[in-house]
Amino acid sequence: MEFSAEQIAGILNGEILGNTEVKVTALSKIEEGTEGTLSFLSNPKYEEYIYSTGASICIVNKSFIPSKELPKTLTLVQVDDAYACFAKLLDFYNQMRLKPAKIEQPSFVADSAKTGAGLYLGAFAYISDGAIIGENVKIYPNVYIGDNVTIGDNSIVYPGANIYADCKIGKNCIIHSGVIIGADGFGFAPDTNGEYQKIPQIGNVILEDFVEVGSNSTIDRATLGSTIIRRGVKIDNLCQIAHNVEIGKNTAMAAQVGIAGSAKIGERVMIGGQAGIAGHLHIADETKIVAQSGIPNTIKRADTLMGSPAIPLDDFKKSYVGFRKLPFILNKIQEFDKKLKELVKNQKD
SS3 content of the chain, % helix, strand, coil (to 5): 20, 30, 50
Could you confirm whether 176 is annotated as catalytic? no
Buried b (16+ CB within 10 A) or exposed e, 222-245: bbeebbbbbbbbbbbbbbbbbbbb
**Phi, psi dihedral angles at 196 (to 5 degrees):** -80, 130
DSSP per residue, 303-319? -EEEETTEEEHHHHHHH
The rounded Cα 338 to chain-centroid distance in angstroms is: 55
For residues 239 and 349, what is the distance between their CA atoms, to the nearest angstrom? 68
The rounded Cα 203 to chain-centroid distance in angstroms is: 25
- Angle separating helix axes 326-348 and 313-324, nearest 10 degrees: 50
Amino acid at 178: G
Helix, strand, or coil here: 79?
strand
Helix, strand, or coil here: 104?
coil
For residues 20 and 43, what is the distance between their CA atoms, to the nearest angstrom? 25
From the list 186, 237, 240, the residue with the least C-alpha distance to 216 is 237
For residues 303 and 28, what is the distance between their CA atoms, to the nearest angstrom? 37
Among the residues of the chain, which ranges form H helices?
5-12, 82-97, 313-324, 326-348
Candidate list 176, 243, 280, 282, residue with the active-site label? 243
- What positions carry a catalytic annotation? 243
